[in-house]
Amino acid sequence: MTCSRDLPASVPGGGGGTPLDRDRLPSLGGMPIPSLGTLKCLPALDRPDLLAAPVAETLRQWARASEVSVTEIDPELADTAALTEAYDLPLSASANCVVVSGRRAGEERIAACVVLADTRADVNNLVKRTLDVRQASFLPTVRAVEENGMEYGAITPVGLPAGWRVLVDASVLEVEVAVIGSGVRRSKLLLGGRDLADLPGVEVVEGLGI
């Protein structure tokens, strides 16, 4: 189920989640856009200034972009724990994106891994096997932000370089409204968890988050 016309009363997981008030949901052509907690959301395409350039470009070309909202936040609250507390969000609604790399026969292989905030990516086992590399480790921060045009702490599966694999934990798809990065620390994107599977290049992986 996507975040469109028929939204449930609450987000599953995380001890019941935060109820969604249909009466306060912003809308786009009569269709509610994703909203959670006390976040003030607008259609993402209406605020390209709140998106990193590659994120905005990808959304403009994505068929489901009208079902994505953006919310402006205090950049000091961009990290998950602070965001969750400040905006009354269920921890289970946030999905984090980390970038991992490894080598095989001299070839570097890079993957962005998206997992729920209350889990961590299984880098040393599942990610390593999926990339088929001898050893997997986090891509250095300087390289990660330079190569994807996004800010540290705001990397998102939307708009990543074409050569990177994008691995999304299957449990993220079960979240009714997922909160992910926008490419900049002063905002977040909200969209249906299942919609992440339709992003360009995404591979859904069971057990990615542990």
The 10s digit of each residue's pLDDT in 34-64 is 999 999 999 999 999 999 999 999 999 999 9
At residue 210's C-alpha, the angle toward residues 2 and 8, to 5°, is 25
- What integer pLDDT is reported at residue 31 of this predicted model? 57
Residue type, 103: R
Asked, for residue 15, whether it belongs to a domain, the answer is: no
Asked, for residue 4, whether it belongs to a domain, the answer is: no
Q: 184-205 pLDDT, tens per residue?
A: 999 999 999 999 999 999 999 9
Asked, for residue 75, whether it belongs to a domain, the answer is: yes
Asked, for residue 93, whether it belongs to a domain, the answer is: yes
Of 205, 203, 198, 209, the closest CA to residue 2 belongs to 198
Asked, for residue 17, whether it belongs to a domain, the answer is: no
pLDDT band at 1 (very low <50, low <70, confident <90, very high): very low
Phi first, then psi: give them for residue 89, nearest 5 degrees.
-110, 150
- Token pair 């997992």: residue: 115
Report whether pLDDT(109) > 50: yes
- What integer pLDDT is reported at residue 82 of this predicted model? 95
Q: What is the pTM of this model?
A: 0.84
Asked, for residue 201, whether it belongs to a domain, the answer is: yes
How is residue 11 written in tokens? 């987000």
pLDDT band at 33 (very low <50, low <70, confident <90, very high): confident
Q: 67-97 pLDDT, tens per residue?
A: 999 999 999 999 999 999 999 999 999 999 9
pLDDT band at 21 (very low <50, low <70, confident <90, very high): very low
Instruction: Tell me the residue range of the domain where 117 lies.
Output: 22-205
Q: How many domains does the chain have?
A: 1
Asked, for residue 13, whether it belongs to a domain, the answer is: no
CATH of the domain at 121: 3.90.960.10
pLDDT band at 32 (very low <50, low <70, confident <90, very high): confident
Asked, for residue 6, whether it belongs to a domain, the answer is: no
